[in-house]
Amino acid sequence: MPQFRYTARSADGKLVDGVIDSSDRAGAILQIEQQRFFPIKIEALADGNAARTVEKARTGTAAQQVETLGLTQQFLFTEQLGHLLGAGMTLDEALGILEKRLKHPKLQGLSQSLHRSLVDGRSLSQAMRDYPKIFSPLYVNMVSAGEASGSLAEIMRRLVTHLADVKALRDRVQQALVYPAVLVVAGIGLIIIFMTVMVPQLTGFFEQTGQQLPMATRILLEANRIIAGYWWVAIVATFAGYSAFKFLTREQAGRKAWDYFRWRIPGYGHIMRYRLYAQFARTLGTLVENGVTLLRALELLEEISGNEWVRQKMVEMRRSVIDGASLSNALRPHKVFPELFLDMMSVGEQTGRFGETMQMIADVYERELDKQVKLTSSLIPPVIMIAIAAIVGLVVYGILSAVFNLTSGLRTRMH
């Protein structure tokens, strides 16, 4: 019977080498998994010497360094790796195929670098920690849990679902804000044209008449004079304000104050909250379902919260859980999550279906987020149009007031 030499990783993360008898490669993989090992590399013993010779002959060219990767590319890499592992390939074979299959230079370089680390004896999660800007702590810890439990293929499939949910959530928010952003830019452009082109052309004409201009027209001309003569002050003030803002928010207290202010902004704050509720529930449910302990999952959620005020609340909440409180009771005093959210979480804790319940909560608040985004995005355009119409109306009123005053003066002279 053919023999296969294998390299695998045990549940405690140690590398294990051995030889196994099997009629084919698939049978060898099955036997290794039955020993609760995760196969990394398998080669037929008859071809072992040749395989080792080929391995030694491989060039040691360093893989292309990859610092950042877009969410779409990360999704593609995760999806492809999950498909290959699910088809029964070892991690070594899967990464080798991805080196050749993926045409994107960064993805190809990433696959090559991870493959080289694997050959050097490191685990996949250890290799991924070298790329913190690509693989988040959540991602790496889920991969580590999959390696320890021997279910990496399943973990990769769940990561694909998680990344797809995150991408869809981000895209929905961005698409809903495109139209309001276009309106803001168009409105500002229209106002600038009125104040810098039309008003100056009328200024000289009004001054030549020698008549006393109405108050509205004088205010308009004074505003135009200030804009034309002191536009640079606005640029300097904007730059100084931005610099001061960056300096203040660099410190933890400044970031906390700013994030709390954003949390309370009408409309925008509601979107932030529902997005946090959905992301918190989805991520926590995914981590718990994949074997990550609750305390470690909460620690990871602190890192990805994206809001310093919320992060500090979560630190206090995790301390309460360490002291023995249930998660729902630990969250309740901080008033970050709504009562409905906490009541549903409590039901999940009591029924023993916590991960499934958190996924259901995420579905609920993603629907609420969609409603809030649609409501906010439908209200923004009318508000912007009213503001633009009001400013343009004031400009037109200032001009027409002068015209009417001029015509009235001419009629008086003619009589």
Is residue 41 classed as helix, strand or coil in its secondary structure?
strand
- Which range is least confidently modeled, 33-47, 51-65, 130-144, 378-392? 51-65
Cα 62 from Cα 115, distance rounded (Å): 11
Bridge partners, 7 (sequence order) = 17, 41
> How far does CA 49 lie from the centroid of its chain?
47
Per the structure, the count of domains in the chain is 3
Q: Tell whether 307 and 223 lie within a shared domain.
A: no
Q: Are residues 257 and 390 in the same domain?
A: yes
pLDDT one-digit tens code per residue, 77-120: 888 888 888 888 888 888 888 888 888 888 888 888 888 888 88
Look up residue 112 and give its DSSP letter: H
Do 200 and 327 lie in a common domain? no
**Cα–Cα distance, 328 to 317 (Å, whole number):** 9
Contact 362, 281 (CB under 8 A): yes
- Do 257 and 384 fall into the same domain? yes
Residue 104 lies in a domain: no
- d(CA 312, CA 298) in angstroms, rounded, equals 12
Domain extent, residue 233, equals: 176-261+378-414
Span 17-66, pLDDT tens digits: 777 777 777 677 777 777 777 676 777 765 444 344 334 333 333 344 45
Asked whether residue 206 carries a pLDDT value surpassing 80, the answer given is: no
- Shared domain check, 352 and 215: no
Question: Same domain, yes or no, for 221 and 302?
Answer: no
Between CA 97 and CA 106, with CA 100 as vertex, the angle to 5 degrees is 110
Residues 353 and 383 in one domain: no
Check whether residue 189 and residue 208 sit in a common domain: yes
Give the pair of three-digit tokens for residue 77.
């890499």
Q: Are residues 204 and 248 in the same domain?
A: yes
Is the pTM value of this prediction over 0.75?
A: no
Residues 233 and 361 in one domain: no
Q: Is the pLDDT of residue 348 over 70?
A: yes
Residue 153 in any domain: the answer is no
Phi first, then psi, for residue 282 (nearest 5°) are -65, -45
Placement of tokens 């304000």 in the chain: 241
Mean pLDDT in residue range 293-319: 83
d(CA 344, CA 361): 7
Q: Which residues pair with 17 in a beta bridge?
A: 7
Same structural domain, 284 and 346: yes
Q: Are residues 342 and 404 in the same domain?
A: no
| Nearest by Cα to 372 from 285, 243, 246, 277 | 277
pLDDT in tens, 176-199: 677 777 877 887 787 777 777 777
d(CA 269, CA 373): 11
For the stretch 214-262, pLDDT in tens is 777 777 777 777 877 787 888 899 999 999 988 888 888 888 899 899 8
CATH number at residue 336: 1.20.81.30
Mean of pLDDT over the chain: 78
